[in-house]
Structure 1
Amino acid sequence: MKVKVSVDADLCTACALCYDELPEVYEDAGDGIAKVKDDIGGDGAVIEGELAERAMEITEECPSGALVTEEVE
């Protein structure tokens, strides 16, 4: 499985769920708002395997709906 990940910063409530649970993909942008890590490609990065599966799970758990995770081929 491959997914494209991004964060809608306007929706993010800085709850820290994503970067606490999946620090390989998400990080604090400095103000509590989440962002996709630049070292994996930043917003719109494509990840695969176990990271992709975990990203899908975290997206479902995000209370604000700020995480956008789309399956790609």
Structure 2
Amino acid sequence: MKVKVQVDQDLCTACALCYDEVPEVYEDAGDGIARVKEEVGGDGAIIEGELAQRVLEVTDECPSGALVTEVVEE
């Protein structure tokens, strides 16, 4: 599976769920607001395999709906 990941920083409430649960993909932008790590490609990065599944799970759990995740390949 492959997913495309983004963070809508205007919706992010800095709850830290995403970067606590999937630190390989998300990080604190310095003010608590999440962002996709540049090391994985930044906003619009494609994540694969088991990591993609974890990203989907945290997307469903995000209380503000700030994580934008699109399945691009099953």
> Which TM-score tier does this pair reach, normalised by the shorter chain?
over 0.9
Per the alignment, residue 23 of structure 1 pairs with 23
Per the alignment, residue 32 of structure 1 pairs with 32
Q: Which runs of 5+ in 1 are unaligned?
A: none
Pairing 1:8–2:43 present: no
Q: Which runs of 5+ in 2 are unaligned?
A: none
Pairing 1:72–2:72 present: yes
Pairing 1:50–2:26 present: no
Query: How high is the TM-score relative to the length of structure 1?
Result: 0.99
- Residue by residue over 1:21-71, the C-alpha shift from the partner in whole angstroms, topping out at 9 and shown as x without a partner, is 000000000000000000000000001001100000000000000000000
List, as ranges, runs of 4+ consecutive aligned residues in structure 1 with deviation greater than 3 Å: none
* Aligned AA (1:2): K
Q: CA RMSD in A?
A: 0.4
Query: How high is the TM-score relative to the length of structure 2?
Result: 0.97
* Aligned AA (1:14): A
